[in-house]
Structure formats: C-alpha cells, structure tokens
Amino acid sequence: MKKIFKRKVYLDHNATTSVSRPVRRTMNRVLKYHYGNPSSGYQKGKNAYNILEQARKQVALAIHAHSHEVYFSGCATESNNAVLKTLSNHFYPDKKKIISTPIEHPSVMNTLEYLQTRGIEVEYCPVDCYGFVSAEELEKMIDEDTFLICCIYANNEIGTIQNIKEISAIAKQYNILVMSDCVQAFGKIDVNVKELGVDYATFSAHKLHGPKGVGALYARISSYMEPFIHGGHQEEGMRAGTESVHNIAGFGKACNNVKKLISHSEKIQTIKGLLIDGLRAVKHDMIINSPSEKCLPNTISVTLPGIKSKELMMMLDYYGICVSSGSACSSQINKPSHVLKAIGLTDTAAEETLRISLGKDTTIRDVQYTLKVIDKYLKETWD
C-alpha cells in the first residue's frame, strides 16, 4: 500500500472550534490594557464596563435580541443549569412538570435528572429515527402541572434541527415557557430568538471561534429570572462575580462574524456530501444517522457496521485526524450515547458510530485524506 503522508485535519467542530485571529487580538488587547474591574467607579473600570456592554450588544445583535435580554455566564452548561434550576425553584410545588426530549446535551439531561430528585417530574417526548420531535406528541404530554418545555435547537451528535417555532407556538397556547439550547445552532444556522418564540435560550462562545469559559443566556424581556449565582450586583444581580472581561469581549467579537460563518454553509454542505459519498464507497453498508434535511450543514453521524469507532478514532488520531465518537462531554464515559440510543440504535451500532463535524476551513483535501485513512483501516481490519 502507498505510504500515507500525515497531515493535521480537525473534523470535530461540534466539540469546539479554534479561536479566530480577530477574537485573539481583541482578547489580547483587553488583557493588556483593560484589566480594570468593570464595577470600579474610575475611568479604567468604566472602560472595562463599556467593553462588556459592547459585547452584550454584539451577542444580542447576532441572536436578534435586545441587549438587556442577554446575561453572560461561565459556559452554556451554566446557562442551562441556571434556567432549569431557577424556573423549577420558582414554580415548584405549584407546578412540577418539565417536558423535554431524550436527545438533550448532558448539561440538560443531568440537570433534569438532578431536579427529579427534588420533586420535579420530567417527561421525555420520544423522537423518530432521525431525532425529530413530533409537536403533536409533545402537545399530548402537556397538562396542568407543566411549566416548561425544554428542547434543543440543533443536536450536537446527529445535527437534527427541531421545529422550535412550532413548539413555542403550542406552548404559548397553554401558557407554558420554552427554553432551547441553541449552542450548536449558533454560528451554523441563523438563530433568531424572536422568530423561534422561545422564552430562554443558551449559547457558548467556543462553538463559533470564540474562547472557552464564556456563555450566554437569553431571557425574553419580562420573563422570570432570579439570581443563579449569589453575591455582587453583576449581570443585573443575576450572576454575581467579577466578569471575565477578555472572554466576554472575545465572545462579542466572535458574534460579529456569525453572518460570515453561516455564509460558509453551502460550501461545507458540499464537502459533507463528498464525504458521505466517499464513506459509502469505502463501506457500502454504512448508515447515516443524521437527517438529509433539517440538519446542521456540518454534522454527520455515521455507523460503520463491524468497526469499533473508538479503535478507528485511535487510528485516525495517529494520522492527525480529529473526529469524535459522540459528544465531547460524554466521550470519557464508556456508555453508548443516549442520543444514538434514543433514535433506535443498538448498543453495538452506537459503538460503531462516528461523529464528524466540519468547519469553515475544512477542505476537499482534508476529506480525501480522511477517507484514505479510513479505507486503509478497513482494509487492514478485514484482511
């Protein structure tokens, strides 16, 4: 077999993304010159405060919200915890029920599990084999006790995009709140919180070429909010603690680029098509778990029967290729992915599944190289 020359290929953009140069520059400038505490009354503090408020406007603009509807947090996990826990605290014991889906991110799933130990009832609306929630099924689950519907906008493992607008419209008829984890959608498709009709939405900077360790929470104007970290007056008293000004500034800068990021979708989708064709050519019985429509343009979940994805990943890693066998948050857990199980995969099929997530800089050569390495692995494994 011809020698394969090693390259670096990053195909795990749903796990995280590189920090873009403009974001790095912004953050370095803030770290160097604007280290004042935004709460301090003198000019240096005011400068830092102004940076926060500018970033808030940038995030708000990118999600089509008003800036006073945006709160910064330490990450999307924190934002998800904050919404679920504060709303449960507020409604319990008058209302006890949350309706959600079985394909939420662990930051939602595990928080819901925790809330169940506190008396909250959680019902999961089943999804079909591509991860789609049926709005009619969901409506049937609503009762007097329900205060919240929690539904992920775009799934991190299979890319399925839910009809949040329809779900919000149903929820409104029953006076029920809606929260949506928009982490994976943001930067890949347009996220317009007003059009989606949600009351709460959560975001993370590091999925759109911003820094790690900063997230945001959108709370529709006049929707219920209570402090989720107690202490000082920061973030309107909702999230106390001195703000991570450089991270927040980086998040804001990353949001300036959201339209441009989305404009890469068509190119990414084309490369994704080539990758799927190539995978079919090297392994005829492969199964694509991601839907062909209403799917993130960059995400492919593929099952390769007879091939353990953990082993294939190790081989790909050896050749400089980064892919994932599920969500980065659960890749350390030796349990089949709850998302893949929810869409009907067996434990074995789930263990034979790879998540490949492309990015704006992914090239056809990256895909050709990846296919070559997979082909080599398959031939060596079967021979």
Binds ligand PLP by CB under 6 A, chosen from 38, 131, 210, 215 = 215
Binds ligand PLP by CB under 6 A, chosen from 81, 100, 101, 184 = 184
Is 211 a binding residue for ligand PLP by CB under 6 A? The answer is: no
Contact status, residue 343 vs residue 289, Cβ threshold 8 Å: yes
Whether 75 is catalytic is: no
Q: Which of 230, 239, 249 is nearest to 27 (CA)?
A: 249
Question: In terms of CB distance, is 315 or 329 closer to ligand PLP?
Answer: 329
Look up residue 34 and give its two tokens.
Answer: 């604007």
Question: In terms of CB distance, is 322 or 329 closer to ligand PLP?
Answer: 329
Using the contact rule CB under 6 A, the part of the chain among 30-38, 177-185, 228-236, 289-297 near ligand PLP is: 177-185
Shortest distance in whole angstroms from residue 22 CB to ligand PLP: 20
Is 156 a binding residue for ligand PLP by CB under 6 A? The answer is: yes
| β pairing state of 353-357 and 299-303 | antiparallel
Using the contact rule CB under 6 A, the part of the chain among 75-83, 231-239, 259-267, 357-365 near ligand PLP is: 75-83
Binds ligand PLP by CB under 6 A, chosen from 17, 26, 58, 77 = 77
* Segment 317 to 376, residues that bind ligand PLP, using CB under 6 A: 327-329
* DSSP letter for each residue of 68-127: GGEEEES-HHHHHHHHHHHHHHHHTTT--EEEE-TT--HHHHHHHHHHHTTT-EEEEPPB
Q: Which residue has the tokens 């970290």?
A: 229
Question: In terms of CB distance, is 77 or 257 closer to ligand PLP?
Answer: 77
Binds ligand PLP by CB under 6 A, chosen from 9, 19, 183, 255 = 183
Is 107 a binding residue for ligand PLP by CB under 6 A? The answer is: yes
Q: Which of 295, 22, 305, 50 is nearest to 158 (CA)?
A: 295
Name 372's Cβ contacts closer than 8 Å, sequence gap at least 6.
4
Contact status, residue 299 vs residue 355, Cβ threshold 8 Å: yes
Question: In terms of CB distance, is 83 or 120 closer to ligand PLP?
Answer: 83
Q: How far is Cα 215 from Cα 203, in angstroms, rounded to an integer? A: 5
CA angle 205, 48, 73 (to 5 degrees): 35
Is 180 a binding residue for ligand PLP by CB under 6 A? The answer is: no
Catalytic residue chosen out of the listed positions 129, 150, 322, 329 = 329
In whole angstroms, how far apart are CA 242 and each of 76, 86, 153, 362? 18, 21, 30, 37
**Binding residues with ligand PLP: total (CB under 6 A):** 15
Is 158 a binding residue for ligand PLP by CB under 6 A? The answer is: no
Shortest distance in whole angstroms from residue 182 CB to ligand PLP: 8
Shortest distance in whole angstroms from residue 373 CB to ligand PLP: 25
CA angle 70, 64, 213 (to 5 degrees): 40
Catalytic residue IDs: 329
Summarize as ranges the residues that interact with ligand PLP (CB under 6 A): 75-77, 105, 107, 152, 156, 181, 183-184, 204, 215, 327-329
